[in-house]
Structure 1
Amino acid sequence: MLAQQRQAAILDLVRRHGGVRVSQLVRQFGVSDMTIRRDLEALADRGLVDKVHGGATIAGPGSTEEPGFDAKSVRQRNEKAAIAERAAKLIEPHTAVALSAGTTTAALAAHLVDVPGLTIVTNSIPVADTLYHAGRPDQTVVLTGGIRTPSDALAGPVAEAAIGSLNVDVLFLGVHGMSPRTGFTTPNLMEAGTNRLLVAAARRLVVLADHTKWEMVGIATITPLDEADILITDVGLAAEARVQLAERVGELIVVDPND
């Protein structure tokens, strides 16, 4: 196989799985470690992948780049749906829950309409819209107010004032990225402050993050990995990433969208 052909095949693997390991590629292509590293270097020089220790990941956006809600909602739809379905099983009737903004938490909102007696606190316009349209008289929906961000979150001083006086049983937090070095992150500085207050208001923290969020880094850290009581992700997450997360979060739950 020519170098150009091998690099195209490597790029396809990175795009399908979110990341690859040098050792995996050495076995798969039957070439030396040095050859694979040169291939990854060539792909990184073209801006097609990001080199990380021991491998490469999908070339990520800048730490402040924030896609809009609609753009994010079409990505990893099956994975997000499976994560949301699993998260819904953690919700008990007649409890107070909080949902941050995000496309995975928006998917979770559709399941909340089946749980009686909930009080739901959210700074997400799509989450509130789903719950308001359901119109359950036994549910209370608290929308924080605030300044609207590209991800259809409400953030800033008004949102923070609303959240600061509340206490909830569990927070379901959507994130832009996660890594051992930076923790759970967001590309939006205002959302970071609002999300930190949501974390502080919750007795238990459940993070919802599909496999593409691994080693993605936003400009602002929300909270370290070890603050998560539960992290729900999908089978696309590499084995080494699972090991690192399992060592840090309280419980790692991995779902299969095909089940």
Structure 2
Amino acid sequence: MEGDMERRRKQIVELINEKGQVGFAQLVKSFPDVSEMTLRNDLKFLDANRQIIRIHGGARSLDTVIDIDDPLHKRISKNNEKKQEIAKKAVRLIHPRGAIFLDSGSTMIELAKIFPDERCKIFTVGVPCTMELARLKSVDVHVFGGRLKRESLSISGVKTLQEIENVNFNLAIIGVTGYCRGKGFCCSSEERCEINRAVMRRAEKVMVLMDSQKVGKSDTYILAESQDIDILISDHDLDREIQEDLEQKGVEVY
């Protein structure tokens, strides 16, 4: 009996971590043989033990509220097929020219792996991205200086922001940790948010890469609203209603 309870609670945490946020109705549907009272007690226990965050009408993953970057190795293993799909879409839309900013993150690494070897300048704060881009002979790769964040293997800090202010970007390719209608595109790290805002201010065009599972996730910092971006690239599971809403606001969605 106790083993069944532990197993169920582990499954609840895994579901919430996978979705980012789960409504109580969805939880009831996922565990049809468990009473609502038992599920409410499970959420109360998991919240008290800091495994999830209880909210009105459901629960959220800790990842959606903690102001730190996930370890990079953890993010690389999540939704890898979707990230590869997004990277392939992005490559078809990118016309390498001038100066391009490439954000840090696991989806950006997938993009760097297949970035075309055509003459342009790429600026990045992602250390793994520079390693992937090193294979290219025609691309001039620039790495902004600053402080290394070990978990995400990205560069940040005052020096990074100062160097960004000296560059004009033809295209900024940005990653986000969530999107909510009415709240916009979100970021979990304040430092990363500041860097990407600075880049976007100096960019002619802004392209956001976001997998569909980040829709509905509300993170700590608001990075941008729909009018601040030009292109959104997601995977084939992106909600049609969200796509149409963004297109009505002038965003090209792929």
* TM-score (normalised: structure 1): 0.75
Provide closer, same or farther for how the CA distance between residues 237 and 204 of structure 1 changes in structure 2, counting only shifts above 3 A: same
Counterpart of 1:115 (choices 110, 114, 117) is: 117
Shift of 1:175: 1.2
Deviation sequence 1:72-99 (CA, Å, 0-9, x none) = 1110100000001100111214332110
Q: Residue 196 of structure 1: SS of its match in structure 2?
A: helix
Q: 1:156–1:193: 8 Å Cα contact kept in structure 2?
A: no
Q: 1:22–1:54: 8 Å Cα contact kept in structure 2?
A: yes
Shift of 1:60: 4.7
Deviation sequence 1:164-192 (CA, Å, 0-9, x none) = 11111111101122223432222221111
Please show how residues 188-227 of structure 1 align to structure 2 within 5 Å: 188-227=189-228
Shift of 1:100: 0.9
Give the corresponding residue for 2:238: 237
What residue identity is the alignment partner of 1:250?
Answer: V
Q: Residue 83 of structure 2: SS of its match in structure 1?
A: helix
Shift of 1:15: 7.2
Separation of aligned partners in 1, 2:18 and 2:193: 29
Separation of aligned partners in 2, 1:239 and 1:17: 18
Tell whether 2:130 aligns with 1:128.
yes
Counterpart of 2:99 (choices 96, 104, 118) is: 96
Provide closer, same or farther for how the CA distance between residues 28 and 142 of structure 1 changes in structure 2, counting only shifts above 3 A: closer
Separation of aligned partners in 1, 2:250 and 2:38: 34
Q: 1:18–1:236: 8 Å Cα contact kept in structure 2?
A: no
Shift of 1:140: 0.7
Provide closer, same or farther for how the CA distance between residues 170 and 111 of structure 1 changes in structure 2, counting only shifts above 3 A: same
Separation of aligned partners in 2, 1:124 and 1:115: 19
Give the corresponding residue for 1:154: 155
Separation of aligned partners in 1, 2:243 and 2:54: 19
Provide closer, same or farther for how the CA distance between residues 157 and 53 of structure 1 changes in structure 2, counting only shifts above 3 A: same
Tell me the percent identity.
24
Q: 1:15–1:58: 8 Å Cα contact kept in structure 2?
A: yes
Tell whether 2:198 aligns with 1:169.
no
Separation of aligned partners in 2, 1:16 and 1:186: 18
Unaligned runs of 5+ in 2: none
Separation of aligned partners in 1, 2:246 and 2:185: 12
Moved more, 175-184 or 115-124: 175-184
Tell whether 2:77 aligns with 1:80.
no
What residue identity is the alignment partner of 1:146?
Answer: G
Please show how residues 176-187 of structure 1 align to structure 2 within 5 Å: 176-187=177-188
Moved more, 230-239 or 52-61: 52-61
* TM-score (normalised: structure 2): 0.76
Separation of aligned partners in 1, 2:26 and 2:218: 24
Q: 1:153–1:191: 8 Å Cα contact kept in structure 2?
A: no
Q: Residue 119 of structure 2: SS of its match in structure 1?
A: coil
Provide closer, same or farther for how the CA distance between residues 10 and 237 of structure 1 changes in structure 2, counting only shifts above 3 A: farther
Separation of aligned partners in 2, 1:52 and 1:242: 27
Q: Residue 93 of structure 2: SS of its match in structure 1?
A: coil
Unaligned runs of 5+ in 1: 254-259
Shift of 1:226: 2.4
Shift of 1:221: 2.0
Root-mean-square deviation (Å): 3.5
Deviation sequence 1:26-71 (CA, Å, 0-9, x none) = 99999xxxx99x8986775455887889987767542414211111
Shift of 1:14: 6.9
Separation of aligned partners in 2, 1:13 and 1:152: 27
